[in-house]
Amino acid sequence: MLIEGFGQEGQERLAGARVTAVGLGGLGSPLAIYLAAAGVGRLTLCDYKEVDAPDLNRQVLHWEGDVGRAKADSALEKLRALNPRIRIEVIKDPVSRENVRGLVEGSDVVVDCLDNFDTRYLLNEACVGLGIPLVHAAVEGLRGQATTVVPGKSPCLRCVIPVAPQRKAVFPIIGFTAGFLAMVEAAETVKLITGVGETLAGKLLVADLGDNSYQVLETRKNPDCPTCGSR
Amino acid sequence: MIRIRFFAGFRDEVGKAEIEVEPRGGATLGELLEGLKENYPGLGKVLEEGNAIFALNQEVVEANTRVKDGDEVAVFPPVSGG
């Protein structure tokens, strides 16, 4: 690959890296495909749900014939076929306060592909506690946001979004919105591992594909943050 | 003047993409928005939900940040799906 500062060394760094992605839905599917294709050496993928027919518009790792199967199994099969040279593990347990640290421990980067903030805050806490970079994105309709947390250096997810958006029972997501934000997450992950480029640490990307407004805002650490305030 | 821009769902709630207001000496961003609730009832709902992201001159800030003449404020709703 001929990208400034990337080359053989960058590829080797990817091969030596372990990335944990939590969620194998609209964000997690394209993310996992691109990280597997990029040659990230070890992928740990977590999802406890089964494939449902309405998921298929955006969860591109899961196909018509996978409806009813565990997303983790469906993902594992496709990704192994895509890149048999990398190590892929799947975890089918829901993320909880009890298991979250064990789940992310040993990862070089954790990627948030979740669909709710309760679990996101658990992931954020564990990553801040263990000093592991966390890449966040979320989507709804034609909109999304993304940021990267580098513990000790940047604001954490709770500094940037201190109050969880209200949970809606059903919300529309168009496939390409999830794909767009998943690619931002893939780029952040590869940049964190290889050191190429600039990340969204200390920044929040707010994207609206409806009117093509893409804003990168500066973010600040909250000194009283319940998660990272004393760090 | 202080320019306040609303994004995404908030634009529909407020009924406007942008409002310009006269600066009031020493007012915070929250106070400024509270003062607009009467003319823009939808703004009350946006503030009540308590999860808006406020940006002042392209930097994410809290509602208790002071604003002055020439500032540009943006109000976004964060999303949570995946």
Q: Which residues of A make CB contacts under 8 Å with B?
A: 23, 25-28, 112-117, 120, 137-141, 143-145, 160-161, 163-167, 171, 173, 178, 204, 206, 208, 210, 213, 215-220, 222
Q: Is residue A167 predicted with pLDDT exceeding 90?
A: no
Which residues from A are below 8 Å from B60, CB to CB? 160, 204, 217-220
Q: Is residue A186 predicted with pLDDT exceeding 80?
A: yes
* ipTM value for the complex: 0.88
Q: What is the pLDDT of residue B12?
A: 85
The class level of CATH for A7-218 reads alpha beta
Which residue of chain A comes nearest to B60, CA vs CA? A219
Of residues B53, B8, B81, B6, the one with CA closest to residue A210: B8
CA pair distance A158, A148, nearest whole angstrom? 12
Q: Is residue A1 predicted with pLDDT exceeding 60?
A: no
Q: What is the pLDDT of residue A131?
A: 98
Q: Is residue A176 predicted with pLDDT exceeding 90?
A: yes
Q: What is the pLDDT of residues B43-57, one digit of tens each?
A: 888 888 778 899 999
CA pair distance A113, A166, nearest whole angstrom? 18
What is the DSSP track for A98-119?
Answer: TTHHHHHTT-SEEEE--S-HHH
- Domain assignments of chain A as residue spans, ordered by start: 7-218
Q: What is the pLDDT of residue A170?
A: 67
Enclosing H/E stretch for A72: helix A71-82
Total residues found in chain A within this entry: 231
Structural domains of chain B ordered from first start:
2-76 (3.10.20.30)
Q: What is the pLDDT of residues A45-58, one digit of tens each?
A: 999 999 999 999 89
Instruction: Please name the amino acid found at residue B54.
Output: F
